[in-house]
A and B are shown apart, each in its own frame.
Chain A
Amino acid sequence: MAGDYEAELVARAKERSPQAWDEIYARHYTQIYRYIHARVSDQHVAEDLASSVFLGAVKGIGAYDYRGQPLLAWLYRIAHNTVSSHYRTTLKHRVVALSTITELSGRLFGQRARSKEPEGPLEADPGAVAERMDLREALAELPQAQREVLILKFFVGMDAKEIGAILSKEPSAVYSLQARALNALRRRLR
């Protein structure tokens, strides 16, 4: 049923229905923004790029062929390409934003970092900075699929079924990827 509704929504979007596009935007903007935010270093850049994703969707909807995959999967691909294009134009070869590293590092090493330097900010602790840099390297070294399942899980907030629908994988395959990604991440950080 959800597929039927999305098919009908896409059909209306192809006819440039403002209501259809309003609904698409309202349903998916936040997820797209979170994904981009996890990959770029700046909140304003993330906002601009998220807006660009929907402009690109408006332009490209004529060539889009709905085949049962969620519309979000198509928007995710646009977002992925938009971020890649952004890296090319800014000559920044980051695959994960520094803020994302900081955030993830805080979650992974939060207690240890706080115990090392309870008064000051995390950036003041050379050890914490090194850990963050290590984490950035570790994430960057992950295969793309592993990196994506971690970002979609922890920074977009998707469950395995949603991630699987986006990446055309079974949920069990997503769990396996996440397990390998977690193991690889922690192994690189040792």
Chain B
Amino acid sequence: MNRAISKALADCIAQMERGAGVEQCLMAHPSHADELRSHLEAWQAMTAGALVQPSAAAFESGRRAMFKALETPPATFSPLAAARLAPAWATVAAAVAAFLVLIGGAAGASAALGGPDPAGDVLSVVGVSSDGPHSGIGDSSASDRGLECANPNAFEGSANSEDKAQNADDAHQKQSCSKGTDESNTTNQAGAGCEDANNGNGNDADHDDADNPGQGQGNNGATSENVEGDCAAGEETPDADRGHGNDADQTDEDNPGQGQGNHGTNEDNNAGGNGNGNADGQSNNNANGNDNPGEPQGQGNGLNNN
């Protein structure tokens, strides 16, 4: 039965409940009449059956039982009643727990009074000792070790972020080199030391440059060859159109990365990803982009200064 017939059957059942006959329903659904007919006739036959009636004796008997129950005060909670009603496994579990508590208390009392210390003996076997600076579960040496390991990483991350701020400042200072150059040119047109004419967020202020169709956070970084050398005008660098957004269709072979990163380094060294180059002129060998040593990932600087 497909959905249409099922819907028609449901509609017919609704009509029949309101008093319509089989033929009347079929007239409303002529296209499904053949399939609906047998269903509706069966439905009608089933509806025609008489409903069973309870015996008067059973009715009265049930009523008396109910009133008798009403006379009984409602049961209130009692621990003994709960224990009686609890399943067997719960009773056994409670008994075992009570036994262990008693044993533990006795062992502790024995140790405190200078007698044998069975609990301590057992715990020492499994490496938990009541002696030493890290006694107890909540004050273990393991927690201290974790703290020792955790802190350097945390501080290292903090240092990296400070580096990035420094890198950004450096980049801003060097960015003056690109001023006055033709921004629309995808190549680096600044002179020596002008590492990246189109770097930073938004290579083009107006974003309407045909050579810079993207509006992402990427840039048109120079190759590493351009770091110290001349950036010849009109000579397109291999990674001129890389980075997030620069290439609108992102199909360029030279655009392997789609991250938010800059592609200011040599394409051989910049595998894409969330790469952000540093402003210190180093080539980026980090797949994740940052040249900050010790910084595994992160969103680094917005400016590339390779």
Contacts and interface: CB of A to CB of B under 8 A. Distances in A.
A55 B6 contact: no
Interface stretch (A2-10, A18-26, A75-83, A115-123): A18-26
A107 B48 contact: yes
A182 B43 contact: yes
Using C-beta atoms within 8 Å of the partner chain, give the interface range for chain B: 35 or more
Label chain B's interface by main secondary structure.
helix
B62 A54 contact: yes
Interface string A99-110: 000011011101
A106 to B, nearest CB: 8
B17 A110 contact: no
Contact of A155 (B6, B52, B59): B52
Contacts of B46: 104, 107-108, 154
Residue from A30, A155, A175, A178 with most neighbouring chain B CB atoms (10 Å): A175
A178 B48 CA distance: 16
Given A108-B45, A182-B39, A18 B10 contact: no
A62 interface: yes
Interface string B27-57: 0000000000011001101111101111100
Contacts of B47: 153-154
A62 B76 CA distance: 11
Contacts of A175: 10-11, 13-14, 17
Nearest to B18: A159
A58 B70 contact: yes
B66 A21 contact: yes
Contacts of B38: 186
Contact of B1 (A16, A43, A110, A183): A183
B212 to A, nearest CB: 57
A175 B25 CA distance: 14
A33 B74 CA distance: 25
B51 A34 contact: yes
B45 A30 contact: no
Measured as residues with beta carbon below 8 angstroms from the partner, the interface class of chain A is: 35 or more
A29 interface: yes
Contact of A34 (B10, B13, B52, B59): B52
Contacts of B67: 18, 21-22
A188 to B, nearest CB: 13
B244 to A, nearest CB: 49
A128 interface: no
A182 B38 CA distance: 11
Given A108-B42, A154-B49, A183 B9 contact: yes
Interface in A143-190: 153-157, 159-160, 171-172, 175-176, 178-180, 182-183, 186-187
Contacts of A159: 17
B58 A55 contact: no
Contact of A103 (B11, B13, B39, B49): B49
Contacts of B17: 159-160, 175
Contacts of A43: 55
A27 interface: no
A30 B53 CA distance: 7
A37 interface: yes
A187 B47 CA distance: 19
A21 B6 contact: no
Contacts of A156: 51
A183 B13 contact: no
A29 B59 contact: yes
A156 B52 CA distance: 8
A5 B67 CA distance: 22
B6 A107 contact: no
B61 interface: yes
A88 interface: no
Given A55-B66, A160-B17, A183-B1, 11 more contacts: A21-B67, A29-B62, A29-B63, A51-B61, A51-B66, A59-B75, A110-B45, A157-B51, A172-B14, A179-B6, A182-B9
16 contacts: A37-B52, A50-B62, A51-B61, A59-B75, A104-B49, A107-B45, A107-B48, A110-B45, A153-B47, A175-B10, A175-B14, A176-B7, A179-B6, A183-B6, A186-B38, A187-B1
Interface of A: 16, 18, 21-22, 25, 29-30, 33-34, 37, 43, 46-47, 50-51, 54-55, 58-59, 62, 103-104, 106-108, 110, 153-157, 159-160, 171-172, 175-176, 178-180, 182-183, 186-187
The 7 tightest CB contacts between A and B, nearest first, are: A51-B62, A47-B58, A179-B9, A179-B10, A175-B10, A33-B54, A58-B69
